[in-house]
A and B are shown apart, each in its own frame.
Chain A
Amino acid sequence: MEVIIKKEIVEEILKVCKFELIYSGDEDKIVSGSVEEVCGLWIGETKEGKIIVEECKMAKNIAKSPFLFEISPYDLYNAYVDAQKRGKEVVGVFHSHPHGSPNPSPLDVKGIKETGLLWLIVGSELKVFSYDNKSNKIIELKIKVK
């Protein structure tokens, strides 16, 4: 399966997830990474085996943590209702890994399996994952930026 996403959306996500420089307090070290994980939702549609991402919506991270995220269920509900009114759907979730790796953590793997949604991780690069029912595995999907 392929994920098609507008260039503007990728740019917007990169902007909100950007790494900030944080001084560690040690004069010789500068640590990169934002203070908290940033998260949001993808709105779009599924057509002929392709998932087309048309919008991203920021969501509140109620975990307020540099290592965890939990999307506000109210933001998710509002995004869902809003999308439905326009004939769209919530197709995925994105969040940042302030410490770099774009690979899913064990908690991400659980979330991907349980929700069945696309799972974009923004770290040192962008990666999208989904759960494949047939193989019972988490697979990385190709991203096509248009």
Chain B
Amino acid sequence: MVRLKKIGSAGHTEVELPLDVAVLEVEKHLKLGGIVAREDGTKIDLSEIREDDKLILIPRIVGG
């Protein structure tokens, strides 16, 4: 399982997902312009996601 923590959404949403589902979620997030990092702050690419990773999804915040 991969733990994803998403910043925003009235507090932070935290979910545990199977690896393949987590990769799809991360891909969706990256397409929206967000970035993904491990909890220690290192950036991570989609291909580097492994079982037991704890990832933070940081949204793209844009306004005008």
Residues of A within 8 A of B (CB): 37, 39, 46, 63, 65, 67-71, 73, 76-77, 80-81, 89-90, 93, 95, 104-105, 107-108, 110-111, 114-117, 119, 130
Contacts and interface: CB of A to CB of B under 8 A. Distances in A.
A46 B63 CA distance: 24
Contacts of A108: 63-64
Given A70-B61, A111-B63, 5 more contacts: A67-B64, A77-B37, A104-B63, A115-B8, A117-B8
Nearest to A69: B63
A130 to B, nearest CB: 8
A90 B41 CA distance: 16
A107 B62 contact: yes
Contacts of A69: 62-64
A86 B26 CA distance: 27
A3 B10 CA distance: 13
A89 B60 contact: no
A61 B59 CA distance: 15
Contacts of A46: 10-11
B47 interface: no
B12 A93 contact: no
A73 B63 contact: no
B8 A105 contact: no
